[in-house]
């Protein structure tokens, strides 16, 4: 009998790490089975502890937009490592990365680098509250903004998977200023502003929500978010940790600006792609807002490893590669080709199916049409999804182990990888 090293490692892990994982969704709890322990990865593939190869559509949940081990990025990181791991003092690369980010996301005048999306989201809210002198803010059901206390209110993703609307350990007093509304619900939005408008520091929103699979904020909804914030003196905070430099070089805000002239958020939260796989995230926005931060202003925020020299080298090299002409056109074409291939295969087998994508991010649903909010996403048939998930896994295709997660294409994926994925899915659909 062959030994399943994934299982052996999982058994060992569970003795010393809660649930055997350092982030809940990795545990395969929603789909059952044994998580794959990754041994190494290259390009569009990774190999698990048994040496089995997979086409990777998670890419570390978004950062690996170039695929794994891109030579230019590896070289930049190796060079940076030799110059030192961390100094706790400013470096030129931080300035370069800040400039590179601002050049790509022009709604931001200034940016501060941190180590995780959680930190960045939490800090953006603090700036919004500090700058407006107001406490309340709006978040939308199904959007995830990291695990800071005030934001763990009916969040999606990992929490949704565990059917846990809010986390234990968060005192009710801490979330009393968090107003949770339904995504894409204009009426609730209007009502919330009528009631609380003058007390609102901000709206925080995932413009294309990737933590309830893939759900876009509709144009009228986004337009109204912007108008109401401006009218009531609240800030519009875009959480683009997932969508930033992933759906387009200019991020999701540039996608909305195509249809809503002059559209801009006041603040933006970034992560994932800007670190290229290293712990790096950022928050930024208008100058007068960012100048509220210490040491200039009264809003405190700090970090020992913020702007880490190895992480910034990785981020800079990644930004350089994704800035090359045609990058997002190629990426977007491949993503569309995957989604349309899967849709055609499902339709042929008579399975209700639809999907959507933007740039290198996609989602699909076992519904005839795209859902608009979290409640609808939650009505998905788990059993069919689990059959699809495990069928793909057996056939060497790794998608998110939960229905509430987006998927990610990288520059390293080939048309052959996509064809193989679609063929595997077609096989599973026809047996359903």
Q: Which residues bind ligand PLP (CB under 6 A)?
A: 116-118, 121, 144-146, 206, 210-211, 239, 241-242, 271, 281
Tell me the closest approach of the beta carbon of residue 149 to ligand PLP, in angstroms: 14
Q: Which one, of 342, 384, 380, lies nearest residue 212 by Cα?
A: 380
Tell me the closest approach of the beta carbon of residue 139 to ligand PLP, in angstroms: 11
Residue with the CB atom nearest ligand PLP in the bound state: 117
- Closest CB to ligand PLP among residues 141, 206: 206
Tell me the closest approach of the beta carbon of residue 374 to ligand PLP, in angstroms: 14
Tell me the closest approach of the beta carbon of residue 303 to ligand PLP, in angstroms: 13
Contact predicate 223/261, CB 8 Å = no
Tell me the closest approach of the beta carbon of residue 123 to ligand PLP, in angstroms: 12
Tell me the closest approach of the beta carbon of residue 21 to ligand PLP, in angstroms: 13
Query: First CA to last CA across the chain, in angstroms?
Result: 30
- Compute the distance between CA of residue 110 and CA of residue 99 in angstroms, rounded to an integer: 9
Burial of 18 (0-12, 13-18, 19+ CB in 10 A): exposed
- Closest CB to ligand PLP among residues 212, 313: 212
3-state helix/strand/coil string of the chain: CCCCHHHHHHHHHHHHCHHHCCCHHHHCCCCCCCCCCEEEEEECEEEECCCCEEEECCHHHCCCCCCECCHHHHHHHHHHHHHCCCCCCCCHHHHHHHHHHHHHCCCCCEEEEECCHHHHHHHHHHHHHHHHCCCEEEEECCCCCCCCHHHCECCCHHHHHCCCCECCCCCHHHHCCEEEECCCCHHHHHHHHHHHHHHEEEEEECCEECCCCCEECCHHHHHHHHHHHHHHCCEEEEEECCCECCCECCHHHHHHHHHCCCCCCCEEEECHHHHECECCEEEEECHHHHCCECCCCCECCCCCCCCCHHHHHHHHHHHHHHCCCCHHHHHHHHHHHHHHHHHHHHHHCCCCCEEEEECCEEEEECCCCCCCCHHHHCCCCHHHHHHHHHHHHHCCEECCCCCCCCEECCCCCCHHHHHHHHHHHHHHHHHC
- Which residues participate in catalysis according to the annotation? 144, 239, 272
- Closest CB to ligand PLP among residues 63, 341: 63
Tell me the closest approach of the beta carbon of residue 112 to ligand PLP, in angstroms: 15
- Closest CB to ligand PLP among residues 15, 304: 304
């Amino acid at each position: 009998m062959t030994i399943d090293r994934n299982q052996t490692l999982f058994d060992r892990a569970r003795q010393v790490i809660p649930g055997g994982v350092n982030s809940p969704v990795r545990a395969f709890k929603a789909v059952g089975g044994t998580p794959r322990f990754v041994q190494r990865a290259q390009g569009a593939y990774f190999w698990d502890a048994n040496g089995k190869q997979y086409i990777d559509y998670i890419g570390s949940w978004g950062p690996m937009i170039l695929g794994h081990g891109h030579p230019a990025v590896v070289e930049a990181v190796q060079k940076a490592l030799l110059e030192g791991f961390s100094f706790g003092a400013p470096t030129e690369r931080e300035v370069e990365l800040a400039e590179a980010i601002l050049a790509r996301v022009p709604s931001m005048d200034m940016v501060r680098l941190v180590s995780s999306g959680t930190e960045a989201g939490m800090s953006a809210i603090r700036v919004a509250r500090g700058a407006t002198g107001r406490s309340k803010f709006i978040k939308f059901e199904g959007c995830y903004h990291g695990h800071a206390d005030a934001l763990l209110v009916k969040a999606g993703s990992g929490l949704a998977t565990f059917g846990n609307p809010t986390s234990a350990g968060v005192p009710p007093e801490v979330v009393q200023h968090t107003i949770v509304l339904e995504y894409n619900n204009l009426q609730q939005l209007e009502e919330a502003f009528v009631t609380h408008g003058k007390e609102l520091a901000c709206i925080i929103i995932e413009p294309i929500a990737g933590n309830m699979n893939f759900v876009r904020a509709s144009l009228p909804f986004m337009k109204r978010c912007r108008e109401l914030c401006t009218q009531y003196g609240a800030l519009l905070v875009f959480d683009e940790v997932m969508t930033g430099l992933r759906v387009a070089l200019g991020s999701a805000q540039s996608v909305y600006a195509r249809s809503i002239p002059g559209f801009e958020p006041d603040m933006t939260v970034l992560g994932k792609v800007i670190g290229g796989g290293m712990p790096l995230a950022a928050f930024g926005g208008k100058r007068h807002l960012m100048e509220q931060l210490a040491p200039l202003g009264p809003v405190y925020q700090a970090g020992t490893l913020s702007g880490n020299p190895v992480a910034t080298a990785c981020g800079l090299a990644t930004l350089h590669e994704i800035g090359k002409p045609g990058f997002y056109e190629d990426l977007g074409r491949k993503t569309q080709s995957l989604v349309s291939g899967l849709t055609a295969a499902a339709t042929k087998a008579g399975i209700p199916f639809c999907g959507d994508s933007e740039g290198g991010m996609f989602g699909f649903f076992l519904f005839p049409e795209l859902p608009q909010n979290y409640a609808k996403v939650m009505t998905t048939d788990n059993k069919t999804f689990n059959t699809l998930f495990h069928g793909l896994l057996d056939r060497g295709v790794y998608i998110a182990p939960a229905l509430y997660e987006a998927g990610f294409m990288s520059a390293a994926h080939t048309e052959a990888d996509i064809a193989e994925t679609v063929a595997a899915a077609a096989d599973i659909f026809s047996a359903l």
